[in-house]
Structure 1
Amino acid sequence: MLEQQKLNEENKEKLLEQQQAKFEQIQREAEEANRVRTEEFKEQLRQNKEQAIEKQNELFQKQVSEQEENRKITDELKEQLRQNKEQAIEKQNEFLQRQLSEQEANRVRTEELKEQLRQSKDQAIEKQNELFQRQLTEQIAASERQHSLMLEQMRKDNESLRHAIADSKSDPCVIS
């Protein structure tokens, strides 16, 4: 009978050890899953930043090309103006002067629109980054809450098991 009780206690200890090992394994797996999710979110954020920078670079290249084209157009108009001056046709000179003024106004307006576009894009990128950051923070918090709930439930289960074991030791009705 004493040996049976000793075997029961050894079995209980083994069971506790197994449950503790299982608890630790689940905890490691949960921590690893959280780490992997966090890394994935960081990678997604990095890729989104890279895409935004790439789009911004493409826009900048387009703007540089447009400026070069505007410079070429301006050079062509200047040459045309010089030739007209040589011909001494005042009306043509006035017309070309008006064209240059309109082009300058268009260029100024184009620059204003480019600046507005750049500001809008910067704001959109900032809002998108804030959204991703908020989502990442919320997902991390949710994972941490879930992890805490799992740990609490495991602690409760272990506590219940300890009480059951303690109760079984003190209860004379329990057959050993």
Structure 2
Amino acid sequence: MCCRLTVYLFEQHACHIAYAKGVLNSLGMTSYQDAEDAVSNTYAKCIAKWPADAKIVPGMTDAWARKILYNECMNLGRTRGRRRERDDDALQTTTAPAQPDVVLQQEQRDKLAQALAQLTPEEQEFVRLRYYEKMSYDEISAKMARPKPFLYELNRRVLAKLRSQMDD
């Protein structure tokens, strides 16, 4: 029965993403990745809570899943809100960085720029899309015309290269 529920949920995936984006947008969170996180957490909760003998009734099942999705979005918003408040409090209590810290940060930025320059053009494009434009693997896969497993491996390789060059 869980398999049928899983298939049903994934058939509704685009609708659930749009719904999550709407709820999260009303909370001031516009990231596609946040919506995707909320939907995937919702699916895990739905599958875990689904009674073994229950039947899928399209309207009722979707309403039930959307209620769980709404609660998940609200939880995500509260979590991010608390994190923002803590970060704001920390920013208000900190002083300006000491001069040696500023110099060290500049050296690290220069070192990172050199490490990024040594990556292949494809690796640089991946880093730009994933970490600067905050695209999901699905979006990157479509843009770069590469399968997601390849992108996962590319991410692992790029991070390993950057770590080794930053440690030198």
- Please give the TM-score of this superposition, normalised by the length of structure 2: 0.27
Task: With a CA cutoff of 8 Å and minimum separation of 6, indicate the structure with the bigger relative contact order.
Answer: 1
Larger Rg: 1
- Please give the TM-score of this superposition, normalised by the length of structure 1: 0.26
